[in-house]
Structure 1
C-alpha cells in the first residue's frame, strides 16, 4: 500500500512540474524570419505558466563550418549540462542538421520538432536513426506557382530578373529553380544573378525596362565582395533603384516594397510547430505526430505596391491577403464617429479642468520669475567668474565676477566668442575642448595663465560642462573660472624657500668642487714664482700656466652657473633630458658623494628619456632626494662603504625613476608622514624638502612620488606621464 501511495505521489508531483523547452535557431536575433517564428511560439506558450522557453541562436548567417559547429557543441554541452529539457525545437536547416549530428551528445532521448526545413527528405531521418525522435514542419517555396502568378499579373512581361545569394538556403532554391527556369525560359527572358556585388547589382536593376520587366527577389545576405546585409538593408538598396515590380518568396520582405506572391510564412511555420509542441508536452509520442510536408504558404500582397504599378489579383486568385489596404467608406465613417466621441469626451474633461490648470500655470510662472531673479543675484554674488555659451561658441551671458575680471560690461559679453576676450592660443585650446565636450556630453578641467590689460597675470582653473535644454537637446557649455594665482604664487614661494633651505648643502658641494682646482692653481702659482726667482722662467711656461689656470677658472665658473640656474625658477614647461639633469646634479654633488664614501650608480634601462615639465624644479627634487640619502648615511659616522643606486626606465604610460640607498629604513610609524609640510626628523630641519618634492612632482608635473622600505633599502619612486 505504501509503495502505491509513493508512486501516486511521484506521478502527482511530476504532473505539476514545469516543462522546459529549448528553441535552437540557425540564425541570429534580429533576422526577421527567426524573430517571427519565435514570436508565434512565444505567443502560444504565453498563457502556459508551466512552460519555460529557452532560446539560443547559432548565428550561421555570419559564421559556419565544421570547426565552428564543433565548438558550439562543446559550448552548449557546458551551457546546458545543468538543464533538463522536455522538448527541443529547431528552426531551419543548420539547426536541424546540428540537432541530428549532436543528438546523442546534447539531446539524448529528447523529442525534437523542426520547422523551416528546405529540401526535406524522410529517408534522411531513417538513415540517422532519428525517425522515432523527430517530426515537424517542412518549408518549401513554390517556385512554379510564383512564376505562373507573375505571368498572369503581367501578361506583357518580357524579362524576369532573379536575385539570389550563395547561402545554404540560396543554393537550395537555386537547385529547384533550374527546372522551372528551363520550363519558362521559352516564354520570357530569365536572367539569374548571384555573382554581383551590390553596386553592380543596383546598376543592373536601374537599367530594367519599367513596363516589360520584373524582379524576383530570393535572398541577399552577402554579395560577392563578402559584405553582409540585414534582410532590410539588401532589399532597400534594390528597392531604392528599382522601377519595376519586385516579387518574393518569403513574407518578411512585405511592407518594405515587395509586391507579394505565394509566400513562405515564418509565422505559419511558428504557429504549426508550436501546436505540435503542445501535443508533445501534453504527453503525445512524437512518432504519432505526422510531418507536415506541404509548406503552409499563403498568397499575400502589399496594396501600396499593387497600386503603384497598377496591378490587380482580383481576377487571378480566389483566396489571398492584402496588407496596407485602405478602409472602405463605412469603416472610415465608423472610425470618425468613434474619434469624434473621444474628442468630445476629452474636451469636456478639459473644460472642467481648464480653470485649475490656468491658475496652476500662473503660479508656476510667478515662481519661475522669482527663481530667475534669485539665480541672477546668486550668480553675481559668487566670487568665481562664470559664463555660458551656445553650441556655436557665442556667449549667452556671464556673472559680475567675469565682467570685472575682463573689465567688460555684462551686456557687451553677449554674442561674442572666446577670441574676443582671450589670446588666440588660449582661444584655440578652449575651442578644441568645447568640440570634444559637445560630442561626449562630459566635463573638463583645464588650466590657463591669463595676462590682463593692467599687466596682471592670473593663473586660472577652468571647469566646463555641457548643459541640456528642456527637450534634452544640447543647449551649450557653462564655464566656471577659479582664480588660483595666490595659491600658485604661494607654492612657488615655498619652492624657493626649499631651495634656500638647501643652500647650505649646495655651498658645501661647491666648496668640494672648488677644493681641487684651488689646490691646482696654488701649485701652479708657486711653480711659476720659483721659476721666476731662479731666472728659469720661459715664455712657454707662462703660456702653459695661463692655459691651465683658465681651465680651472672656467670649471669653477661653471659650478657657479649651475648653482645660479638651480636657484632660478622655471617659468614654463619644456621637454628636457633625464640624463642631462642627473649629469648637472653630479657636477655639483659628485665629489661630495665620493668623499662621503658613497658609491653612486645610475642605471639607464633606455637610451635617453625625455620629460615634459619644469626643469629646474625637477632637478631640485632629484637634488633633495640625493642630499637626504647622503645626510642620512653621514649621520652613521662609520667607514663602511654605502650604495646609492638610481634606476631609470620607461613603461607604456610613464617614465619611472627609483632612487635607492642602503643607509637604513625609515621608521614604519613616520613613513606615511614624510611628505607632509613642516614634518622633519632633523634638529635643524625645515620640513620643506620632501613636501616641495611632492608639490613639484604631483601638482606641477602631474606625476606621483612615493617612498617605501624594501629589505634594508629606502626607495623613493617618481612616476611622470609621457608627453602626448
Structure 2
C-alpha cells in the first residue's frame, strides 16, 4: 500500500510539472503577440445614429474576442459634405496619418467609405483587406467588381415584409408615400422599396419625394387620405440640400402626418415611426466585426463569402399603435414592442408561475404536516411521562440562569458603550468641516492596487470636492473623475505598513491643492481626511511673485508714466489753444457770411459754406476726442466697486433714447460680476463700445447686442457682440490706431478714436482689449479687468 501511494504521488507530481510547463509556454506565446492596427472608416459623421450603431456593433464584436487591437475610427461626413473637395481633404488627412503605418484590416460602413477604401487602400492603408457593412447587394456588386481581399455584410433592408405587414393591418391601402433622398444609399433603397410595392400589389399608387422640397412633403403627408401610409427609407436632406437629419425628419413627418409612418431602420424608433421590419445598424456592425475576427485569426479573406446576415427585426412603438388604434394581434408573434406600459403578469410571468407551483407544494406539505401532527400528539403522551425528569433538570438550569443573566447585563452595558461611541463617531463624521471619505481598494489580477471604490463620505465632502454625495458612494475613482487616483502608491503603502500618512497633492485639471491625512481602518478599508488649500497656495505664490516684481515694476512704471504725462500735457495744450480757436473762428466767419450774404450767393457757394462749417464741426469733435483720449492717460484712477451689469443697462438705455427710431435687442447671456475700477473711465469704455454697436448695426434687419463674460484665475474677460456690418480680420490691428477707420464718414459717422480710448483706459486698469469680426456677420469687442476676490 505504501509503495502504491508513493507511485501515485510521483505520477501526480510529474503531471503538475507538465501542466505548469504548458501554462508557461502559453503565457510566453501570449506575450509575443503583436498589436494589430485596424481602421474603421465611416461614410458619415459621428452622432448620426445609423453610423454610431454600426461602429458600436463593430467595437462590441472586436472587444469581445481581442485584447491586442489598436483601433482607429475615422468619419468622412459624406451626408453633410458630398463634394470632391471633401474627398480630397479626407485623402490628404488619412494619407498623413496612415501611409507610414502597417494597417492590418479596414472596416467600412456604407457606400462612400467602401468606395474610398477600395480606391486608396494601396496608397494609404498598406493594401489591407477590407470588411464592409451597410452596403446593399446592388451597390456591392457595382463597387467591388473584380477587387480582391474584400468581404462584408450585405445590407438587406426588408421593404417586402414591412409593406406586407402594412397591408395586413390596413387592407384598404391605395397609396404609399415613399420618402428617400438623393444620396447613393437613399436612391438605392428607394428603388428597392418601389420595386417591392409593385411586386406585392401593382395597383397601389406610389408617390416619391426625392425631387421635392421638405415643406411640400410635409404639406402632402398632412393631407394624406386615410387609405394611405408613409414609408421612410433614408432621408437626410431635401432637393434644396437643406440638411435635416434622420431623426428630425422622422419627427417632423410624424407630427404632420395623419396616417401611420413605417420605417426601414431602427433609428426611426422613438422619433414618430410606427415600426416595421427594421434594419438594426448595431447587428450589422456586430456581424462585420465577427468577419473581421475570423480574418485576424488568420482565415483567408478570399475564402470568406459576403454575409447575407438578416439584421432586421419586427419592432413597433406602443405609443404609435395607440395613436392609430392598431391592435397587437395584427402584428407578427415575434414582434418587439417598445414603450409598453408596465404589466405585472408579463414582467413577472416566471415569478407568478413559480409562486403558484410553490403554493401547490405548500398545500402538499400542509397535508403531510397534518399527518405528522397526529403522530406528534401520540408522542406528546410519551413526553409527559418524561416530564418529571425534565422538572428536575429545570431546577438545575435555574441555577445556571442567574449566571447567564449577569453575563447578559454585562453584554447590555457593553452594547450601550458601543452605541455611545457610534453616536460620537457619527456626530464627528457629519459635523467636521474637513472632507472625509472611506474607500476599499480595487486590485487587478496581479493583486496590484489599480483603483479605489468609495464606501462612505461625509457632508463636507461636497463643499471640499464640489461633487454630489449621491454621485460618489458605490463608484470608483476612475468612474467619477475619468482617470486613476494620483495617490494609489501612497494608499498601497498605508495598507502594507498600517502607518498614517500626511501629504499634499495637486490636481492640475481643476487647479486645486489638497492637504490629506490617510489612515488604515482595516485590511480592506482606508479613511481619508482632506482639506482644499488652493487659496492658501495661490496666496503664497502671488505674494512671492509680487515681492520679486514689485521694485522693478515700480521703477519702470514711474518712468513710463512720467514720460506719458509730459507728452499728454504738451499735446493737450497744443490741441486746445492752437487748433480749436482757429476752427471756431472759421466756423463763425462762415456762419456770418451765410447769414449776411446767403441770399445773394450762388447755390454752389452756399454748399461750400455748409461744407466748411461741417468740416469745422468734425475737426472740433475729433479734437475733443483726442482731448478725451489724452485725459484718459493723464487722469489718476479712483477705483471703487462697480455693478457693471447696471452700468451696461444704463448706457444702453441712454443710447436707445438717442436713437428712438432703432429697436436694438440687448441680451445679457451670463452673470456679470462686480468689478473694482474707475467709474467714470469704465463708463466711457462701455459708452464707446455700445455706441459702436449701435452705429454699425443700423443696416441690420433685427439688430442685437450680446453681453457676457468668463472668469480665469487672473482676470475677468468681458465681450460685447453685435450682428452689424463686421470687418475683415486682416485689418483688425488698424482699428486700435488713432484716426484709423475701415469705413468712410458718409457710411458711418465717427472719428476713429473711440477704440483707441477704450484700449488706453483698459490698459490703465491693467487689462487688455482686442476685437474680432467677420464681414456682414458682426464684430465682438473683448476687454479684461484684473480678477479681484
Q: TM-score, normalised by structure 1?
A: 0.47
Higher CA-based Rg: 1
Pick the structure with more helix per residue: 2
